[in-house]
């Protein structure tokens, strides 16, 4: 069965995935003489940088998600289909999806990334990831459920496991999540559960490398660690997770810890689609692409964002898997599609690094823009401003801003809801 998309006489560009890259590409082609078909397994775009705030009751899920059809309302050359692409058949310029098959003239893979457990089945089954809205809501439910259980237990070891939180991975996601958990411990949870002794609640950030935020400058790495420790987080560097059975975590340097709250933020890998040659896939699960985002070995199949790796002298391991890379690649690719239709010379991708940032908590953030580095309140304000600007939809911007202002002055997070009980695998 074919997907019901109108047949037209202009080229059909099929985009798989509506993350930052897919969204920007479809927008940039709004005036192109081409038919744009966007396919995604969700009917909404997710602003992933704020998932941790959904997980820690700072924001509701619909504050960081926006309906795809509403984004592209009025774009005459655009069609959206809700489904999952299962296979590519390059010889026939055709894709197989959960809702049927579709021919393409150009195919763009913008499926993003998913959690990488590095082949460890125990971690995959028992740790909690946070790469989607569903996973963030699961994490929120798990946190609140375990405190409800803690009220009922009289066993010391059970209480310890329920009140110990371990975040594995010292990148921006791990740092921001650990900071948010610390603020819950200090300002919110003691008011909800006055019967519990929150001196027994431990929040541990575990990083296998020597430093947190390895991609940032040394001063900011140190500052982030200082902020976390001021909030009460235990930072374990040069420490990796060796074993986890769902209750007992063991590290590679002999430490043991009882916890039912182990959150995995230690790595990502590309979301691949079957059908392409193994030689075009890196050992980190990303498609090799050239300077034009074209996948190695194919003339009309492209990849961008987290699922693509573009090797260069400046980036021997590919570009960082962050939103600005995906957005800039999408802008370049969209411009090149329009130029190709007109017979013009195409542009090569040249990444402009606008800087990096991470927030640790209230009035605590670290920012780098070139050689300019700052933190504290100014960094925190810059982080908030940028994320508000990048959010899709005016309603979402307003709702998030109001939530942040309310939380800032009231030290509160109102969305402490167990919408659906989370059941561990």
Question: 3-state SS string over 161-219?
Answer: HHHEEEEECCCHHHHHHHHHHHHHHHHHHHHHCCCCCHHHCEEEEECCCCCCCCCCCHH
Q: Cβ neighbours of residue 162 under 8 Å, at least 6 residues apart? A: 146, 147, 149, 150, 153, 260, 261
Q: The dihedral of CA 270, 354, 38, 106: what is its sign?
A: negative
* Maximal CA-CA distance, the chain: 74
Q: What is the DSSP letter of 313?
A: S
Report CA 323 to chain centroid distance, whole Å: 9
- Of 21, 14, 33, give the one whose Cα is nearest residue 77: 33
In contact, 34 and 77? CB cutoff 8 Å? yes
Give the separation between CA 200 and CA 259, rounded to whole angstroms.
Answer: 12
Q: Rounded to an integer, what distance in angstroms lies between the CA atom of residue 312 and that of residue 291?
A: 9
User: How far, in Å, CA of 403 to CA of 183, rounded?
Assistant: 15
Q: Which of 39, 33, 18, 43 is nearest to 76 (CA)?
A: 33
- C-alpha 177/C-alpha 127 separation (Å) is 15
- With a CB cutoff of 8 Å and minimum separation 6, the contacts of 29 are 13, 36, 77, 334, 337, 338
CA-based radius of gyration for the chain:
22
Q: Hey, which residues are catalytic here? A: 176
Q: Write the CB contacts of 54 (distance below 8 Å, at least 6 apart in sequence).
A: 60, 61, 63, 64, 133, 136, 137, 140
User: Could you tell me where the DSSP H helices lie in 291-410?
Assistant: 323-342, 376-390, 394-410
User: DSSP of 246-288, one letter per residue?
Assistant: SSEEEETTS-EEE-SEEEE-S-EEE---BTS-GGGB-TTS-EE
Shortest CA distance to 4 belongs to which of 94, 81, 108? 81
Q: Which tokens go with 51?
A: 């998932």
């Amino acid at each position: 069965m074919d997907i019901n998309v109108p047949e037209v006489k202009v080229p059909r560009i099929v985009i798989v995935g509506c993350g930052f890259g897919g969204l920007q590409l479809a927008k940039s082609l709004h005036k192109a003489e081409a038919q744009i078909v966007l396919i995604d397994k969700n009917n909404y775009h997710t602003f992933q940088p704020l998932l941790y705030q959904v997980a820690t009751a700072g924001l509701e899920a619909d504050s960081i998600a926006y309906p795809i059809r509403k984004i592209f309302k009025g774009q005459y050359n655009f069609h959206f289909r809700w489904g999952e692409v299962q296979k590519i058949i390059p010889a026939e310029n055709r894709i197989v999806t959960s809702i049927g098959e579709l021919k393409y003239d150009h195919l763009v893979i913008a499926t993003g990334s998913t959690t990488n457990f590095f082949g460890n089945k125990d971690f995959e089954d028992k740790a909690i990831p946070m790469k989607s809205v569903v996973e963030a809501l699961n994490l929120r439910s798990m946190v609140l459920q375990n405190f409800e259980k803690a009220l009922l237990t009289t066993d010391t070891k059970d209480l310890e496991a329920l009140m110990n939180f371990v975040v594995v991975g010292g990148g921006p996601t791990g740092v921001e999540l650990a900071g948010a958990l610390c603020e819950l411990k200090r300002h919110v949870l003691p008011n909800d559960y006055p019967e519990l002794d929150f001196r027994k609640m431990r929040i541990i950030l575990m990083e296998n490398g020597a430093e947190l935020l390895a991609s940032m400058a040394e001063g900011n790495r140190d500052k982030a660690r200082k902020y976390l420790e001021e909030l009460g987080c235990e930072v374990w560097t040069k420490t990796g997770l060796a074993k986890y059975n769902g209750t007992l975590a063991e590290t590679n340097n002999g430490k043991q810890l009882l916890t039912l709250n182990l959150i995995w933020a230690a790595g990502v890998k590309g979301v691949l689609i079957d059908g392409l040659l193994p030689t075009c896939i890196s050992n980190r699960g990303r498609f090799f692409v050239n300077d034009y985002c074209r996948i190695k070995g194919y003339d009309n199949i492209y990849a961008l964002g987290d699922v693509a790796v573009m090797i260069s002298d400046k980036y021997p391991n590919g570009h960082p898997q962050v939103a600005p890379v995906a957005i800039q690649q999408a802008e370049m690719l969209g411009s090149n599609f329009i130029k190709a239709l007109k017979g013009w010379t195409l542009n090569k991708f040249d990444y402009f690094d606008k800087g990096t940032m991470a927030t640790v908590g209230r009035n605590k953030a670290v920012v780098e823009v070139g050689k300019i580095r700052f933190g504290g309140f100014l960094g925190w304000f810059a982080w908030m401003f940028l994320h508000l600007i990048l959010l899709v939809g005016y309603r979402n911007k307003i709702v998030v801003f109001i939530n942040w202002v309310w939380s800032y002055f009231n030290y509160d997070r109102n969305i402490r809801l167990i919408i659906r009980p989370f059941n561990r695998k």
